Amino acid sequence: MLSPIFTGCATALVTPMKEDGAVDEEAFARLIEQQYAGGVAALVVCGTTGEAATLTPEEHERLYRLAVKTAAGRIKIIAGIGSNDTAKALAMARRAEDAGADGLLMVTPYYNKTTQAGLIAHFTHVADRTGLPLIVYNVPSRTGVGVAPETYAVLADHPRIAAVKEASGDIGQFAKTVALCGDKLTFFSGNDSDTVAMMALGAKGVISVASNLVPDAVSRLCALCLAGDHPAAAALNRQWMDLFSVLFREVNPIPVKTAMAMAGLCGGKMRLPLVPMGQENRRALEQVLSRHGIL
């Protein structure tokens, strides 16, 4: 087993954008400082929450480099490299490695999808050709294909496939995967709402959307789980469950970017096909943020 890239909370960081749609690098660097102050262990840059699908390869590389420079070794930087084209994913992995990233996050291929054998080939092709540890990202609700527990067991034997971001929402399947893989892989929750349950089964943390807004709370939640204090973690989870839920009233990252704009953390501009949050859901979001004193 490779040493964990991190334990605890990693934030799936948004990519702030200006009104003209350009990446707001000053706001991006400011968010990294806020995340560090909030106690997170790592940041995922150019992931789903970072609107990676609409970023150019040059923007990816620029954000990787800016994140590494701003973090300055204080927190781990994990580069999102996911693609439904294995060659493109490898090209992004090489850009990330050259930029100084600490690890890679690679989602299952979407739209053209593949078989379980194809998933093994997809992840192995990239892992064979990079020196960085790779996190497999399973989110079948977005990609239309999920990783079977038996497939994880095969991937676990690769020396650079280090971890899994599991966002299937299927706790029973996750328990089976942990039983099959043992300590060959480090597991992270990919859903804020599943963190306590998954950490009770052996996960080492979460790659979180909510921590864009409340890094200290999500970091504390993970610390309680890692310390084995699951009753206290469950109580804290109940306290924040309304936020975890409302951030998925619409497609991520629409709600979290809207919330961050409401809280004055960064602008809420997104690139098409993402559009502003609907008024009813926006009101619900504002109520939750007000309840927690975030506004």
- Residues annotated as catalytic (active site), given as ranges: 137, 165
Give the CA distances from residue 176 to residues 48, 143, 168, 262, in Å, rounded to whole numbers and listed in that order. 26, 22, 13, 41
Give the CA distances from residue 260 to residues 230, 248, 256, 288, in Å, rounded to whole numbers and listed in that order. 29, 14, 6, 13
Rounded to whole angstroms, the Cα distance separating 134 from 225 reads 24
- The verdict on whether omega for the bond into residue 253 sits within 30 degrees of 0, i.e. cis, is yes
- Listed residue (125, 128, 107, 143) closest to 12, CA to CA: 107
The tokens describing 37, both together, are 């102050």
With a CB cutoff of 8 Å and minimum separation 6, the contacts of 132 are: 93, 96, 97, 101, 102, 103, 104, 160
Chain centroid to Cα 178, Å, comes to: 20
Helices (H), the chain: 25-37, 57-71, 86-99, 116-127, 140-143, 149-155, 171-181, 195-200, 215-226, 230-246, 254-262, 279-291
Q: Whose structure tokens read 């994140």?
A: 67
Q: How many CA atoms lie within 13 A of 16 on its CB side?
A: 19
Rounded to whole angstroms, the Cα distance separating 159 from 172 reads 26
SS3 label, residue 173: helix
Rounded to whole angstroms, the Cα distance separating 87 from 202 reads 33
